[in-house]
Amino acid sequence: MTPIKECLINNKTDLVPIWLMRQAGRYLPEFREIRKNNSNFINLCLNSKLSKEITLQPIKRFDFDAAIIFSDILMIPYGLGQKVEFKKNFGPNLGDLDIDKLLEIEEEEFIKNLSPIYELLVELKKSNDLKGKDTIGFVGAPWTLLVYMINKVSPKKGLNNNFFLNKELINNLLKILDRFIKIHIKNQINAGATIIQIFDSWAGMIKSDFDKYLYNPTLSLVNYTKSLGAPVICFPRGISDYSQFCRIVEPSMINIDYNVDPKNLLKNIDIPIQGGLHPQVLLTDKANLRKEVKKYLEIFKNHPYVFNLGHGILPETKIEMVEELVKIVRDFK
C-alpha cells in the first residue's frame, strides 16, 4: 500500500507522507523552460506528453509521495465549451457563458475535449515512474467553478455586483456541474488516478446558503468518489468551520488552510488531516522553516497526517527550501 493510503485507510501515524499543492508549476526551472515555449496554457494542459513530463518533474527532484497531475480546475469549463484563456500577469479570462449551449452538451463531447488528461493518466500508469506512490487527480468544487464561469475572471479582481441575482442561472449551473464534475472524476479514476482532491479555493467567499453552495454539492461528489472506491480529499479553503464541514461532508481526508488552528481542529475531528503550513514560510530561512514545520509534525504526531501546505506553493520558492522541507519531514521521529 502507498504511504498516503496507509495513512488514509489504515490510519497509520508512524510515517508522514509529503506532497505539495501546485508542486508541478512555476517555482521549478524545468517547468518554466517548457512554459517558455508553450505560451498557450490550455494547449499545454492538453499536450499529454508534456503534461506527463511536468507531472513527473517534482517527483524526480524531490521524491514526493504523490504526483498530482498537471492540469487545471478550469479544464472543466473548457470541456463544457466555454472559452478559457490564461493571460500573462492577469490570470484566467473566460468567455461568455451560454447556458443554453451548456444544457445541450453531450457526455461524449465533454470527454473528447478532455481526453488528453485521461491519456496523461494512462501513460503515467504504463510508465511505472510512480510505483509505490499515489497519482492524484483533481476537480474544482461546483462553487469555485461557478464563480469563475459566471465572473469570467478571478474573484481576486472582485465579484460582479449582479453575481447572485440570476438564481435560475446559478441553479442550472450547479446541476450541470454536478453531472460533469462526476464524469471527470470517473474518467480520471478509470485512467489511473488513485486519489481525488476537490479544490474549493473560493469556499471562504460563501457567506450564506452553505447547504446549497458548499455542503450539498461537495457531499454529492464525495459520496460519488467513494462509491467508485477512491479516497477523496477536500480543500474548502477559507471556510470558518472546518469541523462542521468534516461532520457533514465526511471526506476521506481534509486539507486545511494556514488560518486553521490545528490543535483546535484536532479536538473536534478524527479523520486524517493534510496540509496547513503557510507557503510563505518557504520564502524565509531554513531555521524558521524547521521551527514552523515541526509545529505541525508535533501537533499531528499521533494523528494520521499528510504533510502539505495551506495553499499552493509560491512561484518565488527556492528549490533548496523545498529540499530542506522534505528532509525535515522525512527525518522527523
Closest among 278, 331, 274 to 303, alpha carbons compared: 274
Least Å from the CB of residue 325 to ligand 1CP: 15
Near ligand 1CP by CB under 6 A: residue from 64, 78, 118, 138: 138
CB of 200 to ligand 1CP, least distance (A): 9
Among 70, 118, 213, 307, binds ligand 1CP (CB under 6 A): 70
In whole angstroms, the minimum distance from the beta carbon of 237 to ligand 1CP comes to 6
Nearest alpha carbon to residue 55 among 140, 141, 139, 129? 129
Choice from 21, 174, 253, 309 touching ligand 1CP (CB under 6 A): 21
> In this chain, which stretch among 64-72, 111-119, 247-255, 259-267 interacts with ligand 1CP, using CB under 6 A?
64-72
Q: Which of 28, 73, 273, 309 binds ligand 1CP (CB under 6 A)?
A: 73
Count residues near ligand 1CP (CB under 6 A): 23
Q: Is 199 in the site for ligand 1CP (CB under 6 A)?
A: yes
To the nearest whole angstrom, how small is the minimum distance from the Cβ of residue 302 to ligand 1CP?
Answer: 29
Answer yes or no: are the C-beta atoms of 120 and 114 closer than 8 Å: no
Do 267 and 243 contact (CB within 8 A), yes or no? no
DSSP 84: E
Q: What is the distance between the alpha carbons of residues 50 and 56, in angstroms, rounded to a whole number?
A: 10
Cα separation, 53 vs 55, whole angstroms: 5
The cell for 165 is 441575482
**The one segment of 17-25, 104-112, 173-181, 214-222 that binds ligand 1CP by CB under 6 A:** 17-25
Sole binder of ligand 1CP in the list 12, 35, 278, 327 (CB under 6 A): 35
Q: Left (φ > 0), alpha (ψ -120 to 50) or beta: where does 134 sit?
A: beta
Of residues 44 and 176, the one with the C-beta less far from ligand 1CP: 44
Q: Would you count residue 25 as binding ligand 1CP (CB under 6 A)?
A: yes
The yes or no reply on residue 201 touching ligand 1CP (CB under 6 A) is yes
The three cell numbers of residue 297 are 509534525
Other C-beta atoms within 10 Å of 259: how many?
15
- Give one DSSP letter per residue of 273-331, joined into a string: EEE-B-GGGGGS-HHHHHHHHHHHHHHTTTS-EEB-BSSPPPTT--HHHHHHHHHHHHH
Residue 94's nearest CA partner among 14, 151, 143 is 151
The Cβ-side half-sphere exposure at 239, using a 13 Å CA radius, reads 26
Residue selected from 30, 33, 40, 91 as contacting ligand 1CP according to rule CB under 6 A: 91
Check residue 26 for interaction with ligand 1CP (CB under 6 A): yes
Burial track 207-228 (b if 16+ CB lie within 10 A, e otherwise): eeebeebbbbbbbbbbebbeee
As measured in angstroms, the least distance from the Cβ of 91 to ligand 1CP is: 4
Q: Does residue 36 belong to the site contacting ligand 1CP (CB under 6 A)?
A: no
21 or 325, CB closer to ligand 1CP?
21
Residue type, 245: F
Could you say whether residue 50 binds ligand 1CP (CB under 6 A)? no
Q: Which residues bind ligand 1CP (CB under 6 A)?
A: 21-26, 35, 41, 68, 70-74, 86, 91-92, 138, 154, 156, 199, 201, 312
